[in-house]
């Protein structure tokens, strides 16, 4: 066995061991039903996988403040139809996403009003906002996570025909990539203009994440333990920040990917 260096408490280079390979990395797992069958069991299995990745997640001096954990699933259309207090168009013709809104007095409502105006500019129709259920008390969030916790609301939008590119009254609402493009523009403009952050905003997938430990995620978001929430695929992520402090928006997964380790270093990008 290689000798231990005094100042790092790591083995000195030797054999197959090299010190430049010594690093920490996040935990990630992916799950999919090969037949595309949606059920709650897929969500449950993904959360089980996330719990098995708890050793990959970082925590500071507060054992109940995590570096971040989250899950990406397909939009549970039937569930949202039951819990939303407004009418939804057919699946795929609307987008949904969770907004992390500023938590100061009146700031969340101001951000919502501004986002509604931006949606109209992007030829999107706001169907409604849902107060996303959360349970920070039962989840036992730590002081740091509570101090930085935003307001959580889900935005539902559908596309409308543009004034210069429509085909007249009765034209079909945009779906697919057209709707994805419009919601991308809305999301980016909203984040720059209002300070809000969207964990996702898509007609296909939805992300539940936060400055949480792995066991806290399904407790903090009761949606995830509701049997009506179904998906045929899931990505879960347990974050270990190697060069950034924890924050609600920095938790993974992101809207399309979750990466296991650093991807922003010069050597990594060259490789």
What is the C-alpha separation between 188 and 195, in angstroms, rounded?
A: 10
Q: What are phi and psi of 202, to 5 degrees?
A: -155, 155
Q: Taking Cα atoms as reference points, which of 165, 166, 90, 98 lies closest to residue 130?
A: 98
Residues 6+ apart with CB under 8 A from 1: 11
Residues 6+ apart with CB under 8 A from 18: none
Query: Catalytic: which of 13, 26, 145, 207?
Result: 26
What is the C-alpha separation between 172 and 71, in angstroms, rounded?
A: 32
Q: Phi/psi class of residue 106: alpha, beta or left (left: φ > 0; alpha: ψ in -120 to 50)?
A: left
Residues 6+ apart with CB under 8 A from 252: 26, 28, 68, 70, 209, 237, 239, 258, 259
Q: Is 26 a catalytic residue?
A: yes
Q: Which residues are catalytic?
A: 26
């Amino acid at each position: 066995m290689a000798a231990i260096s005094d100042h790092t408490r790591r083995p000195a280079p030797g054999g197959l061991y090299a010190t430049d390979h010594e690093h920490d990395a996040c935990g990630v797992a992916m799950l999919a039903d090969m037949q595309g069958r949606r059920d709650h069991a897929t969500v449950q299995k993904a959360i089980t996988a996330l719990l098995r990745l708890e050793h990959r997640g970082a925590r500071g001096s507060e054992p109940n403040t995590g570096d971040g954990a989250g899950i990406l699933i397909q939009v549970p259309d039937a569930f949202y139809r039951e819990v939303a207090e407004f009418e939804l168009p057919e699946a795929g013709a609307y987008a949904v996403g969770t907004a992390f809104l500023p938590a100061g007095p009146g700031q969340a409502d101001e951000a919502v009003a501004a986002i509604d105006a931006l949606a109209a500019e992007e030829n999107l129709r706001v169907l409604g906002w849902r107060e996303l259920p959360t349970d920070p008390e039962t989840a036992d969030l730590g002081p740091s996570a509570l101090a930085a916790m935003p307001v959580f609301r889900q935005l539902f939008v559908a596309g409308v025909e543009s004034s210069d590119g429509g085909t007249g009254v009765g034209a079909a609402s945009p779906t697919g990539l057209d709707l994805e493009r419009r919601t991308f523009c809305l999301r980016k403009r909203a984040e720059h203009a209002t300070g809000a952050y969207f964990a996702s905003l898509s007609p296909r997938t939805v992300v539940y994440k936060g400055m949480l430990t792995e066991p806290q995620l399904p407790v903090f978001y009761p949606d995830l333990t509701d049997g009506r929430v179904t998906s045929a695929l899931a990505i879960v992520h347990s974050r270990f920040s190697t060069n950034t402090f924890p924050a609600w928006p920095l938790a993974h997964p992101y809207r399309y990917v979750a990466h296991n380790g650093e991807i922003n270093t010069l050597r990594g990008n060259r490789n």
